[in-house]
Structure formats: structure tokens, C-alpha cells
């Protein structure tokens, strides 16, 4: 027996580096010696073989199902153990065997590219997939802690960990692991997840437009706030428009929306219309807007602050204010927009009556129908822009988002003048 060990370990310079296993040259004499030792009743004999990286692969495969757990652990740690044995070790009854295997596979992954080692990669990914579903939390936590921020994590394994019911496993992966395909992220969001799941996905680096759309689609308020605050997230123009519409009545979104980078100037001016003064002040302090936008924000905020306040700081009655502006021919779109933003609805009704020549009861009836066409016609009759008509639909008439009428070509009324006249005549005749 001593002679066998001398042959097996003579001039042994073990390579401690972890690398993809390559097929070792068969040594017939040594192979026979190893077979004899592998069948030894002494655990220490089999353990020596299991630890030796020069042991023939067939022997290591055989020892992977050894009756002694210390031998199986050694096989799991051995850098020469063939990767197709991982399928056996991944379902070993001993926790430490599975943990040893997980540690070895994760250490190998950076060098085990799918393109260069397709068969080996497949074996590793398959075993990691089994471990990602392990009933013992410790195994799944070990995988999550290592793979959470690694690009080389097998996508299917990352997706499995992302769906784990244990938050400590799934949350880090959802937040950081770039290997999760967008399709899986969208599926997770469509499965009605808890808010922390939505928030974890919403905060991911470089979120795609499709995933951002899915985050918004969950309707989760905290998750939406995280998405808006995530300046690396790509948000489509249509989704951004929906976010702004919803932000009018969602105060939690207003501050992050006002501070979001790279917003178009017209979007910024939409936002400044409905946020409170503290948020407006933050927008005024930003230096990344162009000069025209900065000046527009400054003028708008200044108007709002002094809208219903006289030179002595006393509040002015809205009805007196609207009559005063009308008499001075200053009852313009800016003034009525300011009143809308400040929720001075009586001012708006009075102003629209004066601008259109229609009785207030007719104005209220048209607004009360929540009809986009009626409100659009009312704005046209008042000589105001289609942009204001859209604001009137949203803020006063509370037209549902799917029924809103938007400007044609960015500024034109989408209805013909005949159609708008018909709307006015319909409500005028109805009121008689």
C-alpha cells in the first residue's frame, strides 16, 4: 500500500488555481492502483484520492457517490473533478457537499465562458440551477451573495434566484444582477409582486424602456418613485407622459420628477404647473436647464407666489382678481393656468365665462360632463391654445387618460371648427 502512495504522489506539485477541467492523460499502471484504493475499506485511503487533483477523472466520478461524506466533500472541492459530476453532487444529501460544489462552480464561472467551453458551461449552469432551487436557504443565500452583481451569472440561474420567495435571496439579485433577461424581469412584474420587488427592479442600473413600462404598469407608487429617481433608467416618451399625468395627483412622485435629469423643456414646464412651491424652488435652483427654461420657471413661480396676494401681502378675493384682470385685458392663458395649478376652480369658471361669453351654468355643465370634446371646444371658444385645453381636460374636467384629446402636430386643435361649434351650440341649446 505504501508503494502505491509513493507512485501516486511522487513529484506532486499540485496546481491550486481554479480552472476549467481538461482531460488528463491516462496512466494505466497508476489507474489500476487508484482503482484498488477507491475500493479500500479505509476512508483515509479514499480521501487521499478524492483530494488529489491528479486522480483520474473516472475515479473521481466514482468517489462522488462514496458512502463517506468527507470523501464526497473532497471530490466537490477537487479542481480536477469533471463538471458533469456536478449533477450528482448538486443533489447530495449533505449540505456541506452542496456548498463546496457551489463555491467551486462560482469560482470557475469567470473563466468558463459559454462560447469557449459550451459543454462545460452547460454542466456548470445546470448544477447551479439545481442549487438555486435548493430547499436549504443557506445554499441559495450563498449563490445570491456571489452572483448578485456578476455579469457572468448564467441567465437562467439569475432568473431563478430573482424569483426566490426569500427576500434575502431575491432582492440583491433583482437590484444588481445584470444577467437577468428583460423578459424575466417583465414576467416578475406582471405576477403582481410585492412593492419591494417593484422597487428593486425599478432601481436597476440601465433599465430598458420595456422594463420601465412594466414598472409603471404595476401601479406601485413607491416603485414608481424609485423609477423616476433612477436617472439611468430609459423611459419612453409615452410612459413619461403617463407618469406626469399621474404625478398631478401623486405627491410622492412630484419631487423626484422635478429633480429627474435630461427632461425636455416642455416637460419641465408641465411639471412646474402642478408641483407645490417647495418643489418649484428646487427646480429653480437647478443649473442643468437651458436659459430659456430657467427663465420660464422663474417667471411662472414668481407669478404663482403673488397670484392672489396684493402689495401688502393680503389675499385678494378670486372673483375680484378675475374681474380686475379682465378689465385690464390681462386675463390671459398664463393667468388661468396659474389658477388651475393653484386649484382656484371658481376663478377658472369665472374666467372662462368672461372669455367665452357663455353663462357660468353652461361652463359648469360642459366641465361636469368630463367630455374631452366639450372641454376642448370651450378652450377654443375662449381663444386659448390646445395646450391649455389639454391642461383643462386633466386638471378641471378630470377626463380619464384614455379619453384625453391631445394637440395635433404638437399645438393644433384635433377637432374641426365645425365640430367645436356644434359642441358649444349643443350645450347652449340644452341650457335654454
Structural domain includes residue 173: no
Distance of CA 376 to the CA centre of its chain: 36
Please enumerate, as own/partner, the contacts of 164-172 that have beta carbons within 8 Å and a separation of 24 or more: 164/132, 164/140, 166/137, 166/140, 166/141, 167/196, 168/137, 168/141, 168/144, 169/137, 169/140, 169/141, 169/143, 169/144, 170/144, 170/197, 170/200, 171/196, 171/197, 171/200, 172/144, 172/145, 172/148
What is the predicted pLDDT for the residue at 302? 79
Structural domain includes residue 279: no
Structural domain includes residue 70: yes
Which pTM was predicted? 0.71
Distance separating alpha carbons of residues 191 and 177, to the nearest angstrom: 20
Structural domain includes residue 358: yes
pLDDT in tens, 342-396: 888 999 999 999 999 999 999 999 999 999 999 999 999 999 999 999 989 998 9
Structural domain includes residue 143: no
Distance separating alpha carbons of residues 202 and 212, to the nearest angstrom: 7
Task: State mean pLDDT over 53-59.
Answer: 91
Last residue of a domain, one of 102, 131, 160: 131
What is the predicted pLDDT for the residue at 2? 45
Q: What's the structural domain count of the chain? A: 2
Structural domain includes residue 404: yes
Task: State mean pLDDT over 308-337.
Answer: 85
Last residue of a domain, one of 72, 98, 131: 131
Q: What are phi and psi of 281, to 5 degrees?
A: -65, -40
pLDDT in tens, 119-176: 788 888 899 999 999 999 999 999 999 998 877 889 999 999 999 999 999 999 999 9
Q: Answer yes or no: are the C-beta atoms of 341 and 273 closer than 8 Å.
A: yes
**pLDDT of 281 higher than 50:** yes
Task: Say how many C-beta atoms besides its own lie within 10 A of residue 349's C-beta.
Answer: 19
**pLDDT of 16 higher than 60:** no
Task: State the helix-helix crossing angle for 360-368 and 417-430, rounded to 10 degrees.
Answer: 110
CA distance to 28, 383, 423, per residue, from 408 (Å) = 83, 17, 19
For 413, the domain range is 318-430
Cα torsion at 210, 214, 216, 219 (round to 10°)? Answer: 170
Last residue of a domain, one of 86, 113, 131: 131
Alpha helices in 230-290 (DSSP H): 237-247, 251-259, 265-274, 277-285
Structural domain includes residue 92: yes
Structural domain includes residue 127: yes
What is the predicted pLDDT for the residue at 429? 81
**pLDDT of 252 higher than 60:** yes
What is the predicted pLDDT for the residue at 431? 55
Amino acid at each position: 500500500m505504501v508503494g502505491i502512495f509513493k507512485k501516486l504522489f511522487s513529484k506532486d506539485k499540485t496546481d491550486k488555481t481554479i480552472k476549467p477541467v481538461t482531460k488528463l492523460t491516462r496512466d494505466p499502471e497508476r489507474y489500476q492502483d487508484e482503482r484498488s484504493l477507491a475500493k479500500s475499506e479505509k476512508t483515509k485511503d479514499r480521501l487521499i484520492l478524492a483530494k488529489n487533483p491528479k486522480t483520474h477523472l473516472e475515479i473521481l466520478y466514482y468517489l462522488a457517490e462514496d458512502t463517506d461524506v468527507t470523501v464526497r466533500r473532497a471530490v466537490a472541492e477537487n479542481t480536477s473533478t469533471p463538471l458533469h459530476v456536478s449533477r450528482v453532487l448538486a443533489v447530495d444529501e449533505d449540505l456541506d457537499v452542496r456548498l463546496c460544489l457551489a463555491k467551486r462552480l462560482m469560482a470557475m464561472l469567470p473563466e468558463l465562458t459559454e462560447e469557449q467551453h459550451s459543454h462545460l458551461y452547460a454542466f456548470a449552469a445546470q448544477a447551479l440551477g439545481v442549487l438555486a432551487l435548493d430547499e436549504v436557504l443557506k445554499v441559495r443565500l450563498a449563490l445570491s451573495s456571489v452572483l448578485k452583481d456578476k455579469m457572468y451569472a448564467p441567465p437562467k440561474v439569475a432568473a431563478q434566484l430573482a424569483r426566490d420567495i426569500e427576500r434575502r435571496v431575491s432582492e440583491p439579485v433583482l437590484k444588481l444582477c445584470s444577467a437577468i433577461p428583460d423578459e424575466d424581469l417583465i414576467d416578475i412584474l406582471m405576477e403582481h409582486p410585492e412593492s419591494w420587488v417593484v422597487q428593486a427592479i425599478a432601481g436597476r442600473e440601465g433599465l430598458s424602456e420595456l422594463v420601465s413600462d412594466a414598472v409603471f404598469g404595476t401601479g406601485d407608487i413607491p416603485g414608481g418613485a424609485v423609477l423616476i429617481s433612477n436617472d439611468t433608467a430609459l423611459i419612453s416618451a409615452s410612459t413619461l407622459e403617463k407618469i406626469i399625468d399621474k404625478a398631478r395627483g401623486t405627491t410622492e412622485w412630484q419631487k423626484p420628477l422635478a429633480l429627474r435629469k435630461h427632461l425636455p423643456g416642455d416637460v419641465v414646464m408641465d411639471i412646474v404647473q402642478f408641483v407645490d412651491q417647495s418643489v418649484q424652488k428646487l427646480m429653480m435652483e437647478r443649473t442643468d436647464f437651458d436659459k430659456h427654461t430657467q427663465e420660464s420657471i422663474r417667471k411662472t413661480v414668481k407669478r404663482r407666489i403673488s397670484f392672489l396676494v396684493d402689495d401688502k401681502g393680503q389675499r385678494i378675493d378670486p372673483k375680484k382678481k378675475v374681474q380686475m384682470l379682465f378689465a385690464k385685458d390681462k386675463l390671459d392663458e398664463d393667468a388661468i393656468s396659474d389658477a388651475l395649478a393653484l386649484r382656484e376652480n371658481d376663478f377658472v369658471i369665472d374666467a372662462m365665462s368672461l372669455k367665452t361669453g357663455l353663462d357660468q351654468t353652461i361652463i359648469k355643465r360642459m366641465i361636469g360632463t368630463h367630455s374631452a370634446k366639450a372641454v376642448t371646444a370651450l378652450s377654443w371658444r375662449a381663444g386659448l391654445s390646445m395646450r391649455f385645453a389639454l391642461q383643462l381636460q386633466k386638471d378641471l374636467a378630470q377626463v380619464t387618460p384614455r379619453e384625453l384629446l391631445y394637440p395635433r402636430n404638437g399645438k393644433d386643435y384635433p377637432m374641426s371648427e365645425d365640430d367645436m361649434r356644434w359642441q358649444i351650440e349643443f350645450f347652449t341649446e340644452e341650457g335654454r
